[in-house]
Structure 1
Amino acid sequence: MAYLHLATVTIYAWVEGWNDASNGPLLPRMQQVYHVGYAVVSLIFVFSCIGFICGAIANVFMSERLGFGKVSACAFLQVVGYSIQAAAPPFPAFVLGYFVNGFGMALQNAQATGYTARIGQNTALNMAILTSVSAGALVCPFVATEFSQLPQWSFHFLTSVGLSLFNLVALVAVFRLKNQEECLAQIGRTVEEKGTSDRNELRQIFKLKEVHLLALFVMFYSGTGVTIGGWTVTYIIDVRGGGSHSGYISAGYFGGLLLGRFAFLKVNKKLGERLALVIYATVAIALECIVWFVPSIAGDAVAVAVIGLLMGPVYPVSLNYATKVLPRWLLTGAIGWIAGVGQAGTALFPFITGAIASKAGIKTMQPVVVASLASMIGLWLLVPKSSRRHD
């Protein structure tokens, strides 16, 4: 039964990765079809950001009142959001689909992450989830790039509808709308008692400094990563003169991200997680400078793929750290908030990049990414070293 639960959660994770990688190859086509510039097309990220934030906040209340199974069934919102996008309606309605999808994705992310965290500090389990995310992100650019060249380009989102329907059916069939405690009992996991404080859960979560620092760090990490995976395609086409198949460069980045989940496990252990992440981000900055200053499509593609490789270990390390320093009974809400803010970063940072590009050109993407990576290093160094829990 435990393996069935894990398989079901990895299905959602695959859809999440697919969603994150969809926009990069399609952005140039959206601009062409809707006749909009960098700033206006970036509204898709704004509405997605608002959806993620609303979903992250709503998750704290919904988890307490409805429970794991019923909140997970809100995966139907992703079906609705993708259906709107697949119809290629007028641009205002098109971006509304991103809001609906973002709201549903935040709920799914919080529930899946919180549930696996309650199962226990299992490195293999966390890696299975994160590998599934990366696998979905790796496959998507190949499909999205092909659809971007077709007259019915928006039919790419029909594939997303199909994946989301499969995810919804799996969640309902396996978890059967049960709460988290019942699902944990099914796989033989004991349920820990909640804290005795009379403060509500949301207030307790927001009182923890670690929650805010980790949320900001994950926001910068996620936002920077999706900016690279998304806007790089437009950068290569507009600045380097790349062709219609430039979308495959995005696949190189996400492929590196997938490989990076495993490649540095021993390095992390030998160097220590805090030092290792600083080194990875520093080298990524150097490689981003190559993309910035070296006018070579092939060289830029290789540099982007290696950046993905270096970014791969970052999220698993930060997630593992969160399970060590946060009260276990608050993990679903706390990690849901961290993940939701992080997912909001995947919308906010690409929007900022597009807004700046509308004024100064897409060439400004590289200094924005370099600054984001540097900020990520600073935030990681601010996260407390202590492993003391607040139970």
Structure 2
Amino acid sequence: MEFSPLSTSGIGPATPATEPVKTLGFEPSLPATHNELIMMTNLNPSPSASAVNAPENNDSASSSHDSSAHILRARLQLGAICWSLFLAGWNDGTSGPLIPRMQRVYHASFLIVSLVFVISSMGFIFGAAVNMHWTDKHGFGRLMVLGAACQVAAYSIQAPAPPFPLFAASFFLNGLTISIQNAQANAYVASLRFNSEMYLGMLHACYGAGALCSPLVATQFAQMDHWSFHYLASLGMAVLNVIVLTLTFRFRLLSECLALIGQAPGDTSTHDRSNFRQILSLKSVHVLGFFALMYAGVEVSIGGWITTYLIDVRGAGPSAGYTTSGFFGGIMIGRVALLWLNKKGRIPFEILHSVFHADLFLQIGERRVLYLYVALAMSLEFVVWFVPSFIGGAVAVSLVGVFLGPMYPIMISRTSQVVPRWLLSGSIGWIAGFGQAGSAILPFITGAIASKTGIRTVQPLLISLMAMFPILWALVPNSPQRID
């Protein structure tokens, strides 16, 4: 991962003056005094020229040292937040393979076991409020560590498989954890001035990687006597997360963390109203929040219920839990492999090219490509519904993940374009928290319906929810909304 931070020394690296140095959205230029020194050296060469050049060489060496330090810090910071998103994906990928075992151990129906999703949603909503109110007061670094600490507490409760009321209540802490860390991590990457779209794709690919790995482990534990020891493995990674976030960010504000990688401060608000009221006055925030809610609800509903669906409807065995890994693996692959399409924004027509001997392209763009992904995902969901094959359904579910995967990073990228920069962190916190609530509420609704009508109703429900994506996406403004 090549990360190009800017220089804070006032003088760029030792490159020709005609070639600006690419940075995180900032291009430093040579100061006038430095240009004069170069002109003097060229026009009046003398033995004293070396004395003139000496400060320049020292400054260049200092600048090169600063750049190396910025690159190292940037990689460490990105690595830390990618690890926290990996754990968020790990948490979301756990439920699917373990739900059938939870039902047997606690003698719970679909409706009762779905309460874990409802309680998670309460944590998500509370986390969204925490993000909006505490981001400016306590800062990025403290909130990241707070979220990680809540995750340690949740897994500590779940590991010994306590009575179901306490087991379900611990999911509130899981929801709070993911809401806080997801919002803060997205705000960090969206605040980068250079290549933030690519880093968003990579960040959410780490989420997909976590959700891919977790079912592989959870499926094995689901067949053991001590099934809840899966949460001991999760606890070990959560403790490591606390240590990494503490050592990397040291409870600093977001602006301080960005300054350490060489990024200049962003715009600040001059509005009389609080950031909270400004955020709630933005139509784009509410529309994107509902889009996030529907997206996260569909994603976690598929990951949470597809194992049960394949076992009950397609007659699969316990190994059906690996299908959840295939789905989240598809999400991870889609977020990386389709970056070229999201970023480049055009598809060549090879047939027309051969006929007219011209470079002809269909302009897509980040906004339009999402409609294409929705159409493909819905088509594949029909395959899962109507094709009576376990293998066919498993493959189709994995491909659904590929096309669902890029949607969330695209949504966060869009948020950074239509929301004022000084409101970005709080806005993403609200949108992400609202969306994570959907990842709990909609799976619960799915379970409640399944308890009445059977698990077969999952597929038509998912397709109906996907049909809401293009409607909500069309309502997102094309340009930043003015705050009166």
**What letter matches 2:471 in structure 1?**
G
* Counterpart position of 1:68: 140
Contact 2:331 / 2:401 at 8 angstroms: preserved in 1? yes
Contact 1:39 / 1:351 at 8 angstroms: preserved in 2? yes
* Counterpart position of 1:178: 252
Q: Does 63-72 or 362-371 show the bigger shift? A: 63-72
Q: Does 44-53 or 70-79 show the bigger shift? A: 70-79
- Aligned-partner Cα distance in 2 for 1:127–1:264: 9
- Aligned-partner Cα distance in 2 for 1:176–1:263: 34
**What letter matches 1:80 in structure 2?**
A
* Counterpart position of 1:31: 103
Q: Does 118-127 or 90-99 show the bigger shift? A: 118-127
* C-alpha deviation, 1:124, in angstroms: 2.7
Structure 2's unaligned 5+ residue stretches are 1-72, 347-363
- Aligned-partner Cα distance in 1 for 2:246–2:126: 23
**What letter matches 1:113 in structure 2?**
N
* Counterpart position of 1:287: 380
**What letter matches 2:395 in structure 1?**
V
**What letter matches 1:101 in structure 2?**
N
* Counterpart position of 2:302: 228
* C-alpha deviation, 1:118, in angstroms: 2.0
Contact 1:325 / 1:389 at 8 angstroms: preserved in 2? no
Deviations 1:101-151 (A, max 9, x none): 111221111221112222235223212211211111111110010010001
Contact 1:326 / 1:390 at 8 angstroms: preserved in 2? no
* Counterpart position of 1:12: 84
* C-alpha deviation, 1:310, in angstroms: 0.9
**What letter matches 2:154 in structure 1?**
G
* Counterpart position of 1:216: 290
Contact 1:78 / 1:100 at 8 angstroms: preserved in 2? yes
- Aligned-partner Cα distance in 2 for 1:214–1:193: 22
Contact 1:111 / 1:336 at 8 angstroms: preserved in 2? yes
- Aligned-partner Cα distance in 2 for 1:390–1:70: 29
* Counterpart position of 1:42: 114
**1:79-118 aligned within 5 A:** 79-118=152-191
- Aligned-partner Cα distance in 1 for 2:97–2:132: 34
Which structure has the larger Rg over C-alpha atoms?
2
- Aligned-partner Cα distance in 1 for 2:140–2:463: 39
Q: 1:124 to 1:389 in 2, by over 3 A?
A: farther
- Aligned-partner Cα distance in 2 for 1:42–1:388: 38
* Counterpart position of 2:471: 378
- Aligned-partner Cα distance in 2 for 1:306–1:332: 32
- Aligned-partner Cα distance in 2 for 1:223–1:143: 23
Higher share of residues assigned helix: 1
**What letter matches 2:315 in structure 1?**
G
* C-alpha deviation, 1:67, in angstroms: 1.4
* C-alpha deviation, 1:276, in angstroms: 1.7
- Aligned-partner Cα distance in 1 for 2:266–2:412: 20
Contact 2:329 / 2:401 at 8 angstroms: preserved in 1? yes
Percent identity between matched residues is 48
Structure 1's unaligned 5+ residue stretches are none
* Counterpart position of 2:268: 194
Q: TM-score, normalised by structure 2?
A: 0.79
- Aligned-partner Cα distance in 2 for 1:32–1:66: 43
SS at match of 1:197: coil
* Counterpart position of 1:126: 200
Runs (4+) off by over 6 Å = none
* C-alpha deviation, 1:388, in angstroms: 5.9
Contact 1:327 / 1:390 at 8 angstroms: preserved in 2? no
Q: TM-score, normalised by structure 1?
A: 0.97
**What letter matches 1:306 in structure 2?**
L
Q: Which structure exhibits the higher relative contact order, with contacts defined as CA atoms closer than 8 Å and separated by 6 or more residues?
A: 1
1:303 aligns with 2:390: no
**What letter matches 2:478 in structure 1?**
K
Aligned residues: 391
**1:144-155 aligned within 5 A:** 144-155=218-229
* Counterpart position of 1:276: 369
- Aligned-partner Cα distance in 2 for 1:291–1:359: 21
1:57 aligns with 2:150: no
* Counterpart position of 2:57: none
Q: CA RMSD in A?
A: 1.4
1:260 aligns with 2:353: no
